[in-house]
């Protein structure tokens, strides 16, 4: 099944599709979870915060989420080594539907993100997909499906990770087809879980709009009945701030 055919799944009436273009910026949880009633500053912060998505991570702040001139949001680390800016479904279940929907592995999940890398991609990490927790670390979550980039010294290739009950399959994308990740470059990343819980993934470089299957190694069928959540984020390896811009995230699943 081609990547273009899979993309048409969002028009299937049997499916729920959520497309988030970040008209409101994600904020730290305390912006929505605790505030002084009738105080102008906190009331305004709550009003302009995204209700479905929140920011977490080491030394993360709401101020480090900014609107991007080309659309979407830019998330930037604070500048110390191992600082993170992680965006995921809001932990307060009353805030939005992303957290409350059952993103179960047997519901033929789909995930797509359009992101632009920052001006420097060395000594940087970023990731996007469905996980159990917000960490970019592969070994932490027993079940997960996500794209991952980790350049501790020089720019390298994107990887794709699919894990079943603690067994991780990590595939490095062919540099002959996609090259190493470059600075200030747009990437469209997508994966789809099929009816048998196997995964197909694809990527487009630049604003071409044409997805190319990434040719991952044979992936084990995902564990059934695992509730995952969508996340994306960036982390700095050194003391230089790192950033990515995300124009949209699109999530999909079977309704029942």
34, part of any domain: no
Q: Has residue 33 been placed in a domain?
A: no
The pLDDT value recorded for residue 1 is 44
Question: In total, how many domains does the chain have?
Answer: 1
- Which two three-digit tokens encode residue 6? 């899979």
Domain span at residue 59 reads 3-23+52-254
| Residue 20: Cβ-neighbour burial (10 angstroms; 0-12, 13-18, 19+) | buried
Strand ranges in 59-132 using DSSP code E only, listed in sequence order: 65-67, 73-76, 84-89, 110-117, 124-131
**CA atoms of 252 and 112, how far apart (whole Å):** 9
pLDDT class for 38, splitting at 50, 70, 90?
low
Q: Is residue 197 part of a domain?
A: yes
In this structure, is residue 63 part of a structural domain?
yes
User: Is 40 within a domain?
Assistant: no
d(CA 10, CA 18): 9
The answer to whether residue 116 scores a pLDDT higher than 90 is: yes
* CATH number of 240's domain: 2.60.120.200
Domain membership flag for residue 43? no
Is 41 within the bounds of a domain? no
183 in a structural domain: yes
Question: Residue 65 is encoded by which pair of tokens?
Answer: 């989420």
How confident is the prediction for the chain on average, in pLDDT? Answer: 90
Q: What is the arithmetic mean of pLDDT over 134-146? A: 96
């Amino acid at each position: 099944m081609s990547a273009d055919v899979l993309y048409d799944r969002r028009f299937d009436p049997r499916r729920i599709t959520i497309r988030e273009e970040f008209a409101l910026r994600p904020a730290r949880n305390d912006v929505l979870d605790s505030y002084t009633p009738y105080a102008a500053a906190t009331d305004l912060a709550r009003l302009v915060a995204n209700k479905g998505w929140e920011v977490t991570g080491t030394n993360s702040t709401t101020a480090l989420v900014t609107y991007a001139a080309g659309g979407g949001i830019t998330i930037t680390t604070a500048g110390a080594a191992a600082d993170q800016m992680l965006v995921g479904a809001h932990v307060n279940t009353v805030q939005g539907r992303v957290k409350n929907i059952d993103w179960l592995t047997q519901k033929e999940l789909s995930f797509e993100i359009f992101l632009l890398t920052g001006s420097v991609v060395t000594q940087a990490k970023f990731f996007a997909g469905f996980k159990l927790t917000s960490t970019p670390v592969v070994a932490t979550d027993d079940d997960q499906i996500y794209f991952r980039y980790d350049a501790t010294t020089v720019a390298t290739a994107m990887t794709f990770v699919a894990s079943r009950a603690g067994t991780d399959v990590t595939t490095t994308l062919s540099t002959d087809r996609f090259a190493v990740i470059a600075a200030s470059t747009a990437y469209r990343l997508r994966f789809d879980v099929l009816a048998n819980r196997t995964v197909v993934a694809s990527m487009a470089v630049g604003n071409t709009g044409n997805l190319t299957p990434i040719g991952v190694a044979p992936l084990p069928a995902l564990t059934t009945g695992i509730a995952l959540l969508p996340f994306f984020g960036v982390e700095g390896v050194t003391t230089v701030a790192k950033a990515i811009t995300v124009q949209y995230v699109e999530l999909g699943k079977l309704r029942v």
